[in-house]
Structure 1
């Protein structure tokens, strides 16, 4: 989180122009969700800087939108605040419907990596787990799942949102998949999620070369998986097919940009009838296929899929090309007030039918 101290002050860098929230407006919902995640970042910064009471900088990030802080989620490994549960004070004023555009009662938000002296080591270890697709083996995810289940037990799933940025986006993705396996489809706002793939969107400019590389990669991994049958991972869980998270990506962000290529490839392979090859390739890496899967197992109800394996998603891509990588990965871009900058957002939807045909392709 760069940009000096001003980026921590809501009245300076937050979406303070949103004095009235229209919950049917996707930009408003995105701004609120990203602001709550920002609030978790500032909660941890306040803890490390020992700022309490009137000196706290975190409260405006949720109080401005009429949310209250119900619970902070603490990682016992380093005693840091990695998440929080917020409750919307005006929830009871809205009619109970199944409409996804009504406000949530609870939002469970997760911050990303904090490079402060007290959190650096633990967070970087979790970043490595994301890279090697083993975030599900960390205690932080198990703790997050327990907190989510407690809240979901109080409310039906439309009243509960998940939100996360960067490392926190990885937690939210795995948590959302895990809850989907139990038939709880939580509305989820996933900002700049990490992906353990070569960032071809950044490295190659030719669409043809990127397409050839991805098809070749999928074919090789699918062939290896077929040969090494005892090491092939499980098929798609049909329960997760109906869970459609909102993904927010920036094409200039090395950490998340390859999600754009992943979904383009997924849609193309579906179009040509090669979905099975794509799914098998996405679920495996050459390293795990050749080395094997000899690590300790995880709880059976916990999603162990790679983060990027998603049957469906609503995707918003920021097409701006900032000069600084921090800007491309920053959370502030998702509540940007400038309508000209927001005009560079491209919104697409990937939803696969039961037969594997794509409803809509990315541009």
Structure 2
């Protein structure tokens, strides 16, 4: 029996009969579909299913992409590189704005053959140790090689959940080298206290201000001064990279990014750049886990936040699903640009 979730004709954005490559909503739907293609590739890989039976190709072929190659880690497909191959008859005026390649990373699959490796990655992410895991190295290597081969302006970077964390790390790595990739990060995880779920706005602001002051205090301790100086350099180097973060307020896994950027804006208005940088460089969970030698994942100076809220989303698991981001319904969203300007 064919799963509706994996069947593009039943669940995909088939309303996009023509992609307007100047349209941000079309970009979102295409990028999300490419990431979903990686999920299905891995599920089909574990079932040894190929040929005409496979369900994965429509998720990229519908938009005139071909699978360039899969990205493998520990016998699992964790990502894919797609190449744009439009038919010669395609004449849409915006086609020159389409990416030549899309590099996409999937999130956790709780299925046979995949879950052990994925859960291990999730645990390392929570502990801020994902850079020590082989999947990080595999992902960064794949991105570096494609950038070296075709150039950054021809590449989109995309991921969902754990895959979004992978794409974020790879994007940050390239940004520190002065290479800025157009990036689509769906439901990126942020390890933090679930402050965003507090309904009382005054209490929420009080808690955020208090935790910001605590992290600022930790970062001015003498033992952390050298680390802070290094992170200051990275913070400025990253500021020109503006990834798109697709967030859902009902998703406990990613919603803290909303409060993180809103609080940073308040801190900047309250105490200027110095306080902003002190509060941005760490998090309470990171300090409690004694991972102060590692750069926290949330250190992201600039971002374009696309926030979706819907009363029909009753649980975090539902709100965390990738399928929302290729649907027409997500056109009902808010977009806020946070651009770090430096000192």
TM-score of the superposition, structure 1-length normalised?
0.86
Equivalenced residue count is: 335
- Whether 1:169 aligns to 2:161 is no
Q: Could you say which residue in structure 2 is the equivalent of 1:198?
A: 193
Change (3 A) 1:119 1:94: same
Please show how residues 1-363 of structure 1 align to structure 2 within 5 Å.
Answer: 5-76=3-74, 79-90=75-86, 102-202=97-197, 204-230=198-224, 232-233=227-228, 234-236=230-232, 237=234, 238-286=236-284, 289=287, 292=290, 304-321=294-311, 322-337=313-328, 341-355=329-343
Tell me if structure 1 keeps the 8 A contact 2:70–2:80: yes
Tell me if structure 2 keeps the 8 A contact 1:164–1:189: yes
Deviation at residue 207 of structure 1 after TM alignment: 1.4
Change (3 A) 1:216 1:11: same
Distance 2:183 2:301 in 1: 15
Tell me if structure 2 keeps the 8 A contact 1:39–1:61: yes
Tell me if structure 2 keeps the 8 A contact 1:85–1:109: yes
Deviation at residue 272 of structure 1 after TM alignment: 1.8
Structure 2, unaligned runs of 5 or more: none
Deviation at residue 328 of structure 1 after TM alignment: 0.7
Change (3 A) 1:228 1:326: same
Tell me if structure 2 keeps the 8 A contact 1:110–1:165: yes
Tell me if structure 1 keeps the 8 A contact 2:161–2:189: yes
Distance 1:294 1:251 in 2: 28
TM-score of the superposition, structure 2-length normalised?
0.91
Alpha carbon RMSD of aligned pairs, Å?
2.4
Tell me if structure 1 keeps the 8 A contact 2:107–2:162: yes
User: The residue matched to 1:216 in structure 2 has which SS?
Assistant: helix
User: The residue matched to 1:168 in structure 2 has which SS?
Assistant: helix
